Structure 1
């Protein structure tokens, strides 16, 4: 079932912080990741959808039904918290079955269902263990199994992997995505990890200061950010002020470059964004958008080196990535210069 936020606003008492007229839809079976800087409203959005926070304006509609006045236990949503919120005095099996117990499901049936879900998350042999005997990654799987046990119509994931080591996080995010797709659960994922959002989500929504700046596929968000704020937050880039000086050309002050200016008239003030992977090292003399300069700071990343390339007069270096840093020149193809309106 689809989840729709229709012009939802919420303000914390005595504060201007919260959400401001947020509208977005999560299609049936889709995973939408919500990203943004601290204080952007990510967790507030999730709490409003779950019913843990109330008092908003606008509508939150799930499966065609407005849930604004519906209590938490009637929303049929499974939630996985950042700190897992597992019960240390219960076994793994009883933690998974807890929601079914509250719904008065008979013991045999809830244990059968809990055991089935432990198998799905790869913990079949852990049913009688205590929570304290599990690693962080195992506890997260228990939390996910518990959320799925009630056969939720939606999943709400609040920073589910933030407490885990990077090596565990990468593996577990793939498992969570596979399980979400298997169950076809309509899912909202709140995360501060951009890579996690780009890898796991069908679409990514970015919030800033409580406002929705853009919702798009991961590729669209990265390659076609709608604003400078999105471009600066998602991925790495070089962003420089520029002016349209002729059709298909922009003036950066220190150089004129060919770029796709569209219908923008001469004199339009913009920002030019270049992703580091689109900076070509040591192009041939006469190449389009060739810039001379020198290599500055370098950061070895294994297969690639990320480095600064300093162009005289630019004011800031171009961030670049390649197997071999440029010696004395770089070039950027016109199609790889993204122009951002002010």
Structure 2
């Protein structure tokens, strides 16, 4: 039950905002998370798939069928909204069974299927409760059960955890992922939470200004960003402009560092990406890429402290994190410096 996009484009009337020539496929049973800055086209993509917005060019196909002329109720797509969108006048069981009743399924079998889904999401004991008596996390699981009740060919998750407290978000994130895998649901997740995307997704799509910048595994998106734009958006980092001096040697202006240059030629402009967790403090001996300086702003985060390290001559500090603060020097191992073409 794959969900595919082929040269999908859409512009909001009178603007240049929308989507530009998007092409990728959500494979059967796969969860792809879509992330990007505000206005990148994340929500537009979901609206086009669901049928809530129309007028696109290109193609959206679900299990090989083009969705262009299909009304919302014929698309067989389950959707979980940020605000749950449950019916307050119905109890939990009837909320889950709602889509089945719309499809003219008799009351007894629809309730039986809804009860089985409540069992799957761990809410059997709440079947007769009013949804207003449930916590936010419980309501979200009811919304997920309702979306799955119709045996959708695709599942759309629109910021499903954004309205929840941080204390329960991580636990519910894992539950949703477990349920999605159990039902082998072909899923498109839109989120502004990068940690949520990296933790839940099989692959992550990064959008900016309606364009697809990169689609890859969470590990590759974080460790092998395809461009400076992806690197700047995903995770914390410091990115310095520079140039290649020779094989595996770069010049950042304030320091010459050893880093894998691969096939880049001397004089080529690059950007050097360094993640804070790869910065070593007061390394022993005489390691490669030793940089002396001073500690600037500090942020205590519990398990670690995140801090700015000012290197003389650099136009911005190097962001680092560790359990202790350096006395006078840091280093970044060559293999942990990622070079991006300018």
Tell me the TM-score normalized by structure 1.
0.98
CA distance in structure 2 between the partners assigned to 1:286 and 1:173 by the alignment: 44
Corresponding residue for 1:108?
108
Corresponding residue for 2:169?
169
Gaps of 5+ in 2: none
Instruction: State whether residues 59 and 68 of structure 2, in contact with CA within 8 Å, keep that contact through their aligned partners in structure 1.
Output: yes
CA distance in structure 2 between the partners assigned to 1:153 and 1:178 by the alignment: 18
Corresponding residue for 1:322?
322
Corresponding residue for 1:284?
284
Equivalent positions of 1:28-47 (< 5 A) are: 28-47=28-47
CA distance in structure 2 between the partners assigned to 1:131 and 1:27 by the alignment: 33
**Deviation of residue 284 (structure 1)?**
2.7
Equivalent positions of 1:183-194 (< 5 A) are: 183-194=183-194
DSSP 3-state at the match of 2:55 = coil
Encode CA deviations 1:249-270: one digit per residue, 9 max, x unaligned: 1100011101111111111111
CA distance in structure 1 between the partners assigned to 2:37 and 2:243 by the alignment: 29
Instruction: State whether residues 63 and 153 of structure 2, in contact with CA within 8 Å, keep that contact through their aligned partners in structure 1.
Output: no
DSSP 3-state at the match of 2:327 = coil
Corresponding residue for 2:258?
258
CA distance in structure 1 between the partners assigned to 2:284 and 2:328 by the alignment: 11
DSSP 3-state at the match of 1:118 = helix
CA distance in structure 2 between the partners assigned to 1:185 and 1:132 by the alignment: 28
Report the count of equivalent residues. 342
Encode CA deviations 1:159-199: one digit per residue, 9 max, x unaligned: 00000001111110100000000000100000000000000
The reply to whether residue 78 of structure 1 matches residue 69 of structure 2 is no
CA distance in structure 2 between the partners assigned to 1:252 and 1:314 by the alignment: 8
Corresponding residue for 1:198?
198
Corresponding residue for 1:3?
3
After superposition, the CA RMSD in angstroms is 0.9
CA distance in structure 2 between the partners assigned to 1:254 and 1:284 by the alignment: 22
Encode CA deviations 1:284-330: one digit per residue, 9 max, x unaligned: 34211111111112211222111111100011111111121211111
DSSP 3-state at the match of 1:254 = coil
Comparing 231-240 and 320-329, the one that deviates more: 320-329
**Deviation of residue 15 (structure 1)?**
1.1
CA distance in structure 2 between the partners assigned to 1:131 and 1:22 by the alignment: 38
Gaps of 5+ in 1: none
DSSP 3-state at the match of 1:90 = coil
Comparing 291-300 and 105-114, the one that deviates more: 291-300
CA distance in structure 2 between the partners assigned to 1:285 and 1:101 by the alignment: 71
DSSP 3-state at the match of 1:141 = helix
Corresponding residue for 1:303?
303
After the TM superposition, which parts of structure 1 deviate over 2 Å for at least 4 consecutive aligned residues?
Answer: none
Comparing 126-135 and 18-27, the one that deviates more: 126-135
Corresponding residue for 2:179?
179
The reply to whether residue 144 of structure 1 matches residue 144 of structure 2 is yes
Encode CA deviations 1:91-131: one digit per residue, 9 max, x unaligned: 11111111001100000000111111111111111111112
Encode CA deviations 1:264-288: one digit per residue, 9 max, x unaligned: 1111111110000111111134211
DSSP 3-state at the match of 1:28 = coil
